[in-house]
């Protein structure tokens, strides 16, 4: 059975993450594992020594009090984590997901995902979490690092879920784009969607041929596809087509691991994540 790993922080945007994960799970008949990672170091930027010129006994008392506070905080975070996971499971089952597993881990999200993602076929994560502001178009550091490091396809969810009927594959003929095309052709996730194959570039015989070749491969696998070749800057053109055509889901090829360190703000991939208000399926 396919398996989906869902990352949640329990923020106000988590409901959308569960909705997208529920849609994906029912499409491909997958079980879902919901992950909540507790990073105890988060927010501990102040490492000042408050002991000053205290005597030995006073210093010991202070350290004991600080240890008690850490223990209380840990208990609170554990309790909150269990509540977040319980709410996530209830939400997913309400969306028709039969098999849901809860995973509560201590440690950073990035390290935890890297440790357990091998058992998943798809990773689902929100574009922004509890500390982010949608109006600033800021991407959470966790999202960027998960997208950079994950070896699995990553579904980056939008702010709110809407029915997914039209998909767009941003195609440039390169290896990662061909991988995205392969997933569209052979996987069940895009089954039944109207698919637009978009290539941004000059109107040349080579570009037209690559699009028609890609379309033929999709149709041979039973997928419905149309093609479009448009000039301009890739991120701007793709974002405009998404808006004008009412696209519900974009499929893009993420960078290969040899170039993954260059996935920074300003790259086409990251710009698309920031500017497009729809979910993106990023295929390695």
The helix (H) or strand (E) run that includes residue 194 is strand 194-200
Stretch 89-112: mean pLDDT: 95
pLDDT value for 180: 76
Confirm if 141 and 178 have CB atoms less than 8 A apart: no
Same fold, 3-42+77-149 and 163-283: yes
192 contacts: CB under 8 Å, gap ≥ 6: none
Angle between helix 56-94 and helix 14-28 axes, rounded to 10 deg = 50
The CA R_g of the chain, rounded to the nearest whole Å, is: 22
Instruction: State in words which class domain 163-283 has.
Output: alpha beta
Q: Each residue of 259-279: pLDDT tens digit?
A: 333 333 345 666 666 666 899
Using CA atoms, how far residue 80 sits from 38, 72, 125, 139, in Å, is: 10, 12, 19, 24
The gap from C-alpha 75 to its chain's centroid, in whole angstroms, comes to 29
More confident residue, 131 or 252: 252
The helix (H) or strand (E) run that includes residue 251 is strand 249-253
The pair of structure tokens assigned to 17 is 């993450």
pLDDT value for 254: 65
pLDDT value for 247: 96
Domain ranges of the chain: 3-42+77-149, 163-283
Q: What's the chain's length in residues? A: 284
Considering the entire predicted model, what is its pTM?
0.84
DSSP 8-state code for residue 265: B
The helix (H) or strand (E) run that includes residue 229 is strand 224-230
The helix (H) or strand (E) run that includes residue 196 is strand 194-200
pLDDT band at 12 (very low <50, low <70, confident <90, very high): confident
Instruction: State in words which class domain 3-42+77-149 has.
Output: alpha beta
């Amino acid at each position: 059975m396919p398996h989906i790993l869902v990352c949640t922080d329990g923020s106000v945007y988590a409901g959308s993450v569960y909705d997208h994960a529920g849609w994906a799970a029912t499409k491909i008949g997958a079980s879902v594992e919901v992950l909540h990672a507790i990073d105890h170091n988060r927010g501990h930027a102040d490492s000042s020594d408050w002991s000053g010129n205290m005597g030995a006994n006073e210093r010991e008392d202070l350290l004991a009090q600080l240890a008690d506070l850490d223990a209380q905080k840990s208990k609170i975070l554990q309790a909150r984590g269990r509540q977040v996971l319980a709410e996530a499971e209830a939400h997913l089952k309400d969306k028709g997901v039969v098999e849901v597993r809860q995973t509560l881990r201590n440690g950073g999200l990035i390290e935890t995902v890297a440790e357990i993602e091998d058992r998943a076929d798809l990773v689902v994560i929100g574009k922004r979490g509890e500390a982010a502001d949608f109006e600033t178009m800021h991407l959470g550091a966790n999202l960027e690092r998960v997208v950079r490091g994950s070896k699995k396809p990553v579904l980056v969810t939008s702010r709110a879920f809407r029915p997914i009927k039209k998909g767009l594959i941003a195609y440039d003929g390169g290896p990662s784009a061909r991988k995205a095309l392969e997933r569209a052709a052979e996987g069940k996730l895009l089954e039944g969607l109207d698919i637009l194959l978009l290539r941004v570039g000059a109107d040349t015989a080579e570009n037209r041929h690559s699009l028609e070749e890609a379309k033929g491969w999709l149709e041979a696998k039973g997928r419905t596809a149309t093609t479009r070749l448009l000039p301009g800057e890739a991120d701007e053109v793709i974002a405009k087509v998404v808006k004008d055509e009412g696209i519900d889901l974009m499929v893009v090829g993420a960078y290969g691991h040899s170039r993954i360190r260059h996935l920074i703000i300003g790259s086409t991939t990251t710009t698309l994540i920031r500017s497009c208000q729809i979910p993106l399926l990023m295929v390695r």
